[in-house]
Structure 1
Amino acid sequence: MSAASPRPRANRLAGEKSPYLLQHAANPVDWHPWGDEAIAKARREDKPIFLSIGYSTCHWCHVMERESFENAEIAAYLNAHFVPIKVDREERPDLDQLYMTATQAMTGGGGWPMSVWLNPRLEPFFCGTYFPPDDRGGRPGFLEMLRRIQRAWKESRGTLDEQAGRLARAVGSLVDEGDAPAAAPVSLPATAYRHFERSFDAAFGGFGGAPKFPRPVQFSFLFRYAAATGDGRARDMALLTLERMAHGGIRDQVGGGFHRYSVDAEWRVPHFEKMLFDNAQLLAAYCAAWQFTRQPIFEEVAREIAEYIRRDMTSPEGAFFSAEDADSEGHEGRFYAWRLEELREALGAEEARIVAERFACVAEGNFEDGRNVLHPAEEIEAVARRLGMPAAKVRNVVARAKPKLFAARARRARPLRDDKVIASWNGLMISGLATAGRAFGDTAFATMAARAAEFVLVRLRDPATGQLLRRWRDGEARGAAFLDDYAFLAAGLLDLFEASGEARWLEEARRLTAEQIEGFWDATRGGFFLARGDDPTLFVRPKSDYEGAEPSGNSVAALNLLRLAGLTGDEAYRARAEETLRAFGPRLERFPPAMPLMMCAVMDHLAPPRQVVVAAGADREQAETLWREVNRCFLPHTTLFGPNAPRPRALAGMKPVNGRSAVYVCRNFACHAPTTDPDQLLEALGAPPIPQRPLRFEPGSFMLPQ
């Protein structure tokens, strides 16, 4: 279900559109949205601000709301002595980054809900995350913290203001570390790779221990590094991780798509929220894995992600919603987990027995309250041997069972869906779908991507200025767009251009990039700021220089600029990309794994520009066949021009061969002899070789059979 309308006795959040803010609109806390009214009140009454930042599908945000923000005593104290402000981090990533940097600087950690106390100058003087309502385990509860901070505000105001000033300066120094721009060393990608290699879990994939968060930018780096260097180990780290995730509970084995992260090292039990940005990037990663291997499991997972998005996360107009909650009926994972008797009710005793064996379900449950998270812990052949039946029968039973389980699950109370449309996350999904459309030769994916692109370009525009806006919900577009919105959307449009050959997507990407340069470029140090420079409430103008669950807007911008140079022949784009890379060179050298996608841009910049052109002859079907073969290959550092795509002047002379469609592979716009035979394309393209045996990973080993 979508976010419900606020109940009676609503506070100032009742007029907002954010599902997260509306969740708090009936709290007894006198919440304000971030804005002039709340800030003026704090200054007029000389009160500290309590700033709470979270998002609608955040489990611990729900917990703190139930325990503290719905507590009448806590609310009364908070209202009397503070100006409470609620912020949806997905609407205001600039505030989120700024105050998360402060929280991490003060506490050494961070997370959501984020709880920050500010002076009326909006400088933070005390930071934390979740607080229980009362004292627990030697730690003060939320009400006690409020009392202590109020006492310090009255008795030690000067000290708090000094602390706020120091913390604000520390945040400023972290955001702008003062390094002179410098080119990244040529050896830097190899250094980053060794960092990932040292932390790799060779048994279950992923990096580090539990909890395990997918970080899709790592897959992008590892696949590109493998293609650039021929290092099979880099490729196999990505492949093993994606394979283990596909066989874990982090993948929704019934409905498709991926949950946020795994609480264990084996990807078995997830934290159940589903995010658009995760699934968008994982869709692209599974497409790349399929292009590398042609193994059916990777295509199956990619198609499931796309179907989940089409079915559950797409608006009637074609835009993509943001997220689904982990909780339903007051319990995390209730919608997704199964008791054995529920399996028997849905499938019958015999099918349920086979499915329980296949998905590691037991009477006592592998999760909570006797419930099981479905995850295929071993190969079907092993399950079949244990059951004493042919593997084909097990496979058929499982295939028949999935739609039955889906239908049974659909009758349950569904987790809340955050149905706001965010420009940047739609850009990521447009990229993923366009990539899937090319890889699998399925125009339905490109059509989905095009509908979303049309929506964002038309609906998320300021009618007065024409500038891009951040979010749309319930008929309202609002909030100035950030760097990520421009960069991610432009990247999606470039992928859509390569998938379709339609010139309008390239032109829209160029227009967005021009607006991005005008509004966000750092003329002093290079690179792009996260926010425009016209917001006086930001005590520091943040610049994204780390990639976790989402890419950095600067990394995507650098890649876009390099791609635009290749697609248009305009070297001004390449010069701007070089300035961006120089701006982040010291950061990359200091901590290479911080920005894996910026490392991809470094590799793209170092590699000789390569172009692949399909010149269509009279045999249009042959041109499409050649184009499909090109798209089935993993080709980083390459600009693709399909049979319908406009080309820059330097490539305009690529013609069919004796009237027959042909593929030209060019480096630095110097082209080799054209190829007309699809069977010769793989060698001509220099694509990574396709393994000839099925993908199987043995425990403790992650090398792919050659």
Structure 2
Amino acid sequence: MTLPAQNLLAEEASPYLQQHSGNPVHWRAWSPASLEEAKALDRPILLSIGYAACHWCHVMAHESFENDGVAAVMNRLFVNIKVDREERPDIDQIYMAALSSMGEQGGWPLTMFLTPDGKPFWGGTYFPREPRYGRPGFIQVMEAVDKAWREKRESLHQSADGLTSHVEARLSGSHAKESLDRGTLTELAGRIDGMIDRDLGGLRGAPKFPNAPFMLTLWLSWLRDGNAAHRDDVLVSLEQMLGGGIYDHIGGGLSRYSTDAEWLVPHFEKMLYDNAALIRFCNWAFSASGNDLFRIRIEETIAWLLREMRVDGGAFAASLDADSDGEEGLFYTWSKDEIEAALGSDSILFFKHFTLSSPHGWEGKPVVHQTRSQQAQSVVDREKLNPLKARLLAVREERVRPGLDAKTLSDWNGLMIAALAEAGRSLGRRDWIEAAAKAFAHISAASREGRLPHSMLGARKLFPALSSDYAAMTNAAISLFEASGDWSYIDQAKQFIEQLDHWHADAAGTGYYLTASDSTDVPIRIRGDVDEAIPSATSQIIEAMVRLASVTGDLDLQERAWRVAEHAAGRAAHQAYGQAGIVNACALSIEPLKLVLIDDLADPRLVPVANRNPDPRRIDIVVAIGSETNRPLLPGGILPPADKMGAWFCTGQVCLPVLTDPRELERLLRRQ
């Protein structure tokens, strides 16, 4: 079969694919039909993977994919397939691993050449239309690939077979299970600590990413082992990020990464998942340090989220573009004259607390950031500064806005829902918990025959879900349960795990695949072990199973979680750093914490103590005094008496004596 000789992206549910629907390239989305066409025509596949907020994806699109001459070569020589990596992270991970196995540096746009049956034989990332930056021109590349395909096809097939086998072993293979060991987290935290930039935070060098899995390793090391240096690694990293240009000081929210070592000039795209992680870490940091900076940044970031990222139904969009009006960062940057025009004489106060910088190599307007002393002073003077920032925000709203990728991803929304629910509990913001509940309800209601979609855009839904969707939404359900006390969230969490078991479990019951068993268009069914900017699907699954087992007291689920964790640990042992998420989840499996609180909900004394001392290892279950229903079992099948106030704190299968004094509970949770 062959598809129409035209661009077929106009009806896709991905804004990124729709961005390319006007290209003269005969693009197809990834589908069984597209792969069949390549076989029917006996042509190689040109696979281009990117996402809506990706700057260099836009550059390559403008230079090459919008060019009639380049498109003519693409259409003549290849079947051209365009993939949104956020819609299909399974496809992206396969071919990114293939590029890495060739010894090439990964990134987006990812440009891969495949045999008609989908096996990779060569690739790269961004190619300019004409040769420059030390890179060959894109037409040169395509003609060289075509020549090799015609003249050395047997050799290319051998190379593709070998590369595919290597990727399969790396992403979907199995290793002997490993016993879960406390020392694994300690050892990894020590290695990460050795890479930390002591002055500027984050990992040494540039570019600088807020690496959530590594930060969590360090935070868990402090919580469990009392390593204060690892706590300080995280606090300093957060403080430096939140003072740098990577943070949006006018409107709130964090960009994806900074291009320099100082967190100064960001790549201006804003991703939902980065800001979910920022809210969680700032929540923990505020509790640990008492520094109001972290609370303020939570408030600002959630204000941005609710103002700019909510879509119809109450769920959250995937990302905001780096570019507006064709220029990166134009929406977010300011000249001194612009600020003075907007603020008049109040600009003196603004410049006392903020700095404008244009570092070497940056061609745009200056970037707003803060020195350490300005950051500290702005916390003190925040009431004076808020009206000034509101005026600048109003001026900024008149600018050409960056593009919004409005698709709703179930897994990324799950991360944000959990972050909102947790911050709402800690800071007493019922409105944040309600926003989280609304987003959760919208995604849950989009299920079809009990199965979640992976992505939605308006009425369009992309099924089936990935394992990461069920894991993230399970964790979101549990966080909402902790925040609300509503046991229906636990019923939904159980249903998500049932779907995960049905569609994603491997035959031996040792783990899960990222793609569902009825996904027929993947060349390799991968595990989802590898961390990216967020923890891997496997690590989120282990966390979800451990937390749900802790809430319900389900010993069978607990044993299954342990087994999955052991096998994941066996696979992670063969990776140096790319699977920190699995190490973190295994540490949770070894010592899950459970806090059962019996309290007067009209005038609680114990619950506020738990709320202001969040701990990612702990499940909190609140029961009203006098309640006879939904009392959780303590380890050993013991039912806590509900006739008077009390707190039961359990580690694994061991519970401490009941506490009734809020001050004693505070000391316990602070020490733990």
Tell me if TM exceeds 0.5. Answer: yes
Q: Who is 1:151 aligned against?
A: 147
Q: Who is 2:452 aligned against?
A: 468
Correspondence 1:683 to 2:667 = yes
Letter in 2 for 1:615: I
Aligned residues: 662
Distance in 2 separating the partners of 1:641 and 1:439: 15
Letter in 2 for 1:245: M
1:542 pairs with one of 499, 521, 526: 526
Q: Who is 1:630 aligned against?
A: 610
Q: Who is 2:512 aligned against?
A: 528
Deviation at 1:653, TM superposition (A): 3.5
Q: Who is 2:630 aligned against?
A: 646
Letter in 2 for 1:371: K
- TM-score (norm. length: structure 1): 0.90
Deviation at 1:149, TM superposition (A): 1.1
Gaps of at least 5 residues in structure 2 are: none
Q: Who is 2:277 aligned against?
A: 281
- 2:111, 2:124 within 8 Å by CA — same for their partners in 1? yes
Deviation at 1:445, TM superposition (A): 1.2
Correspondence 1:125 to 2:140 = no
Q: Who is 1:698 aligned against?
A: none
2:590 pairs with one of 606, 613, 617: 606
Q: Who is 1:85 aligned against?
A: 81
1:375 pairs with one of 366, 369, 388: 369
1:360 pairs with one of 336, 355, 360: 355
Distance in 1 separating the partners of 2:663 and 2:166: 59
CA 613–127 in structure 1, closer or farther in 2 if over 3 Å, else same = same
| SS at 1:15 equivalent | coil
Q: Who is 2:432 aligned against?
A: 445
RCO higher in structure (CA 8 A, sep ≥6): 1
Letter in 1 for 2:123: C
Deviation at 1:466, TM superposition (A): 2.6
Letter in 2 for 1:504: S
Cα distance per residue 1:610-663 (max 9 Å; x no partner): 4322213xx43332x32111111133433211135933344774235xx65332
Correspondence 1:173 to 2:157 = no
Distance in 2 separating the partners of 1:68 and 1:107: 25
Q: How does 1:303-382 map to 2 (within 5 A)?
A: 303-348=299-344, 350-361=345-356, 368-369=362-363, 371-380=365-374
Distance in 1 separating the partners of 2:174 and 2:270: 38
Correspondence 1:655 to 2:626 = no
Query: How many percent of aligned residue pairs carry the same amino acid?
Result: 35
- 1:29, 1:75 within 8 Å by CA — same for their partners in 2? yes
Distance in 2 separating the partners of 1:670 and 1:29: 63
Q: Who is 2:552 aligned against?
A: 568
Distance in 2 separating the partners of 1:138 and 1:259: 28
Q: How does 1:50-449 map to 2 (within 5 A)?
A: 50-136=46-132, 138-348=134-344, 350-361=345-356, 368-369=362-363, 371-380=365-374, 397-449=384-436
CA 313–383 in structure 1, closer or farther in 2 if over 3 Å, else same = closer
| SS at 1:655 equivalent | coil
Distance in 2 separating the partners of 1:354 and 1:224: 40
| SS at 1:107 equivalent | coil
- 2:244, 2:263 within 8 Å by CA — same for their partners in 1? yes
Correspondence 1:558 to 2:542 = yes
Deviation at 1:190, TM superposition (A): 1.1
Cα distance per residue 1:171-198 (max 9 Å; x no partner): 1122245422222433111110111111
Distance in 2 separating the partners of 1:439 and 1:403: 26
Deviation at 1:10, TM superposition (A): 7.8
Distance in 1 separating the partners of 2:580 and 2:375: 38
Q: How large is the RMSD of aligned CA atoms in angstroms?
A: 2.2
| SS at 1:84 equivalent | strand
Distance in 2 separating the partners of 1:547 and 1:382: 33
Cα distance per residue 1:488-535 (max 9 Å; x no partner): 111111111111110010110011011101211123372211112333
Cα distance per residue 1:458-511 (max 9 Å; x no partner): 02x12xx33111111121222210011111111111111111110010110011
Distance in 2 separating the partners of 1:569 and 1:220: 26
Stretch moving more, 535-544 or 196-205: 535-544
Distance in 1 separating the partners of 2:477 and 2:310: 18
Distance in 2 separating the partners of 1:568 and 1:36: 41
Deviation at 1:358, TM superposition (A): 2.7
CA 687–304 in structure 1, closer or farther in 2 if over 3 Å, else same = farther
Distance in 2 separating the partners of 1:126 and 1:200: 35
| SS at 2:340 equivalent | helix
Deviation at 1:257, TM superposition (A): 0.7
Deviation at 1:369, TM superposition (A): 4.4
Distance in 1 separating the partners of 2:134 and 2:460: 46
Cα distance per residue 1:227-265 (max 9 Å; x no partner): 111111111111111111111111110111100101111
| SS at 1:643 equivalent | strand
Q: Who is 1:588 aligned against?
A: 572
